[in-house]
Chain A
């Protein structure tokens, strides 16, 4: 659906994208994570034909951003990081304005606006001006605006940034509901958001891809499958040697009286508990997160 080929872009002496290559499949929800200045926004602005690359190309359904930017733009619904909307417009007028710009047939515009307002739960505020809305409500209208022409591709840049947990959760639900029907690119700082929503995640830094894969694949690369945290009353060096000798254990760290043990499977958990012979104060398991993957990628990168 989207093929990024050797994409490079510099702003003065700063290289925002450095020979980026990426394929995004139809119906896929791809997450792009990375620190500030990693090149995430530059990449999606180029896909949206807002910026022109210094070199390379993006093909959307086989169309080049250099040759057919207008057609590509009409296939994309873009929600930028800040819900920047025209303050003086009423919600329904704003949607009508963008529907007209997107070329939605006139006889379908009103129905589409009503549908979108209902989807984002804003039908009761249709006649209110944007400047009376909170950031969360603006973001909802922003999503409705991005969807008003029923695009095949959706690009969300930090859609939940700065929103309260309840609104963030609502917006994640919108995105989850759209999954499968649309090809979605989601730029986010929130690792749990990428983990729970994305089919595939790309870790970007300084315009280059550090790692890429499904969230589970990425997580399994760093710690094995399971992490066991055990707090004991009296740590003993002999215990460490016994644990390291177990077949599925891949690593043991001790800080004060706390052991962090990485395991490939749950098979040896009982044996580990037996090693401490009732000296255990607390025990819990922790699966690796994308945050661990992210930090690990930077350590290695």
Chain B
């Protein structure tokens, strides 16, 4: 709403776009910025390299576990009379309960299990006759851990299929009469690694939001330190144009960074489901993150103060983004969707997401943006904040909440 009011003013049109354009172009021309940008991309490559090496190491070394407490991570009810299928599922990760199909489905509907596997009763006969076995998997779509179960069941099914095919081929060639032993290749921690990989990609995608804090600080606090702000304030524009113009320029840079980031992740083999939706979710998160940074920058006298403020501000933001996602992984709930990271994780998991669920993080981001930019603009409109002597934080907060009279 606040942004709409700003855009619709009739006094000086969209002057903030002039500031955005020049800030954006001059930033892209800056060697210092390009060096930092290149270094950030290099660090991303390094992180991908280290992560891949780490993942490969975990998958190749039996007995080495980075997640020793994953027993019972996921649950699966199995209707498999001949125990043909279920004995190959990793029991360290998935707790298997043998029951009838009806009982299993009741458990699934009651939320007591994440998935149900139905293996046909005549499966042993079909194997002997070299027939097809139709294994059915029922998943709780609302549970984020279902992807672990689904992947493990798929892996087991493939393993079984390969084993049976080899066995059939061997039976046609009598000289190779040694019975084929079906063994499962050690997956080590491969199942939780799927979640770790998804989380890793999601976090990497949100990382650029925190790499440009110094750029905003330099843009806003720099005006005070270099005293160029005085000239800018003398221009026929409002303080809101200055704040919006500078913020939009940084948002443009972040948009490019995220796009490059996503391209690199895709090129290096990471799978990103619904990339456009993911891109938009990350980008919309950038808006209030920039807003918080601008508040810190608008209030700070110098770079040192802004740096300290930024540390605390970003800890809060990371907490806000991460905690709902962690909560979602352990216990599904609607409110966890407030964090865009949760939505990105759900998109990665192939979850079916209703439109109203998207409205939760987007609506909250829009609300946060309006609040943070509103505060930034209010701060930047004040002589005492820009030119000093700057009022204390408590005084400012009391003034904002309308208790000015209480402090005289």
Which residues of A approach B to under 8 Å, CB–CB? Answer: 11-12, 45, 48-52, 70-71, 73-74, 76, 78, 80, 82, 84-89, 93, 97-98, 100-103, 145
B407 at the A interface (CB under 8 A):
no
Interchain CB contact under 8 A, B231 and A78:
yes
Interchain CB contact under 8 A, A88 and B30:
yes
7 inter-chain pairs at a CB distance below 8 angstroms, sorted by A residue, are A70-B11, A73-B234, A73-B237, A78-B231, A85-B231, A101-B235, A145-B231
CB distance from A258 to the nearest CB of B (A): 47
A80-B230, A84-B230 are known contacts. Are A11 and B388 too (CB-CB below 8 A)?
yes
| Alpha-carbon distance A87/B12, docked complex (angstroms) | 27
Considering the complex, which residues of chain B in the window 204-248 have a beta carbon less than 8 Å from any beta carbon of chain A?
Answer: 226-228, 230-231, 233-238
* Chain B residues positioned under 8 Å from A50 (CB to CB): 230, 233-234, 387
* Closest chain A residue, CB of each to CB of B33: A88
- Cross-interface CB contact of B228 among A12, A51, A73, A85, cutoff 8 Å: A85
Considering the complex, which residues of chain B in the window 53-70 have a beta carbon less than 8 Å from any beta carbon of chain A?
Answer: none
- Having A50-B387, A73-B237, A88-B26, one finds 7 other A-B pairs with CB under 8 Å, namely A50-B234, A70-B236, A73-B234, A73-B235, A80-B230, A97-B22, A145-B231
| Alpha-carbon distance A6/B296, docked complex (angstroms) | 36
Interchain CB contact under 8 A, A51 and B234:
no
Interchain CB contact under 8 A, B11 and A76:
no
- Cross-interface CB contact of B389 among A11, A49, A71, A73, cutoff 8 Å: A11
| Alpha-carbon distance A145/B231, docked complex (angstroms) | 10
* Closest chain B residue, CB of each to CB of A97: B22
Interchain CB contact under 8 A, B227 and A80:
yes
| Alpha-carbon distance A82/B230, docked complex (angstroms) | 10
| Alpha-carbon distance A98/B235, docked complex (angstroms) | 8
The 4 A-B pairs of least Cβ separation, nearest first, read A74-B236, A73-B236, A84-B227, A78-B234
Interchain CB contact under 8 A, B228 and A84:
yes
B383 at the A interface (CB under 8 A):
yes
* Chain B residues positioned under 8 Å from A71 (CB to CB): 236
* Chain B residues positioned under 8 Å from A70 (CB to CB): 11-12, 236-238
| Alpha-carbon distance A68/B12, docked complex (angstroms) | 11
Considering the complex, which residues of chain B in the window 284-326 have a beta carbon less than 8 Å from any beta carbon of chain A?
Answer: none
B100 at the A interface (CB under 8 A):
no
| Alpha-carbon distance A145/B234, docked complex (angstroms) | 12
CB distance from B3 to the nearest CB of A (A): 19
| Alpha-carbon distance A52/B381, docked complex (angstroms) | 10
B332 at the A interface (CB under 8 A):
no
* Chain B residues positioned under 8 Å from A45 (CB to CB): 230, 387
* Closest chain B residue, CB of each to CB of A77: B234
A11-B389, A89-B26 are known contacts. Are A101 and B236 too (CB-CB below 8 A)?
yes
| Alpha-carbon distance A151/B237, docked complex (angstroms) | 16
B273 at the A interface (CB under 8 A):
no
A11-B388, A11-B389 are known contacts. Are A101 and B230 too (CB-CB below 8 A)?
no
* Closest chain A residue, CB of each to CB of B229: A84
B330 at the A interface (CB under 8 A):
no
Interchain CB contact under 8 A, B234 and A52:
no
B15 at the A interface (CB under 8 A):
yes
CB distance from B236 to the nearest CB of A (A): 4
Considering the complex, which residues of chain B in the window 11-70 have a beta carbon less than 8 Å from any beta carbon of chain A?
Answer: 11-12, 15, 18-19, 22, 26, 29-30
CB distance from A83 to the nearest CB of B (A): 10
Interface footprint category on B: 20 to 34
CB distance from B42 to the nearest CB of A (A): 24
- Cross-interface CB contact of A82 among B11, B26, B227, cutoff 8 Å: B227
| Alpha-carbon distance A262/B231, docked complex (angstroms) | 47
| Alpha-carbon distance A101/B388, docked complex (angstroms) | 25
* Closest chain B residue, CB of each to CB of A75: B236
Among A78, A80, A84, A93, max chain B CB count under 10 A is at: A84
* Chain A residues positioned under 8 Å from B384 (CB to CB): 11
| Alpha-carbon distance A102/B19, docked complex (angstroms) | 12
Interchain CB contact under 8 A, A100 and B26:
no
* Closest chain A residue, CB of each to CB of B382: A52
- Cross-interface CB contact of B12 among A48, A80, A93, A103, cutoff 8 Å: A103
CB distance from A155 to the nearest CB of B (A): 9
- Cross-interface CB contact of A80 among B26, B231, B389, cutoff 8 Å: B231
* Closest chain B residue, CB of each to CB of A71: B236
A80-B231, A84-B231 are known contacts. Are A51 and B387 too (CB-CB below 8 A)?
yes
| Alpha-carbon distance A49/B29, docked complex (angstroms) | 32
Interface flags, B370-408, vs A, CB<8A=1, else 0: 000000000000011001110000000000000000000
CB distance from B214 to the nearest CB of A (A): 16
CB distance from A168 to the nearest CB of B (A): 21
| Alpha-carbon distance A100/B19, docked complex (angstroms) | 9
* Closest chain B residue, CB of each to CB of A76: B234
* Closest chain B residue, CB of each to CB of A54: B383
- Cross-interface CB contact of A51 among B22, B226, B235, B383, cutoff 8 Å: B383
* Chain B residues positioned under 8 Å from A80 (CB to CB): 227, 230-231
* Chain B residues positioned under 8 Å from A52 (CB to CB): 383
CB distance from A2 to the nearest CB of B (A): 15
CB distance from A50 to the nearest CB of B (A): 5
* Chain B residues positioned under 8 Å from A11 (CB to CB): 384, 388-389
* Chain A residues positioned under 8 Å from B26 (CB to CB): 86, 88-89, 93
* Closest chain B residue, CB of each to CB of A14: B389
Interchain CB contact under 8 A, A102 and B235:
yes
* Chain A residues positioned under 8 Å from B29 (CB to CB): 88
Interchain CB contact under 8 A, B234 and A48:
yes
Interchain CB contact under 8 A, A102 and B236:
yes
* Chain B residues positioned under 8 Å from A98 (CB to CB): 231, 235
| Alpha-carbon distance A101/B228, docked complex (angstroms) | 14
Among B12, B233, B234, B383, max chain A CB count under 10 A is at: B234
- Cross-interface CB contact of B18 among A12, A49, A73, A101, cutoff 8 Å: A101
Interchain CB contact under 8 A, B236 and A12:
no
Among B29, B226, B230, B384, max chain A CB count under 10 A is at: B230
| Alpha-carbon distance A97/B29, docked complex (angstroms) | 15
Interchain CB contact under 8 A, A84 and B226:
yes
* Chain A residues positioned under 8 Å from B228 (CB to CB): 84-86
Among A80, A93, A97, max chain B CB count under 10 A is at: A97
| Alpha-carbon distance A228/B275, docked complex (angstroms) | 89
| Alpha-carbon distance A140/B384, docked complex (angstroms) | 30
* Chain A residues positioned under 8 Å from B238 (CB to CB): 70
CB distance from B129 to the nearest CB of A (A): 78
* Closest chain B residue, CB of each to CB of A155: B234
* Closest chain A residue, CB of each to CB of B245: A101
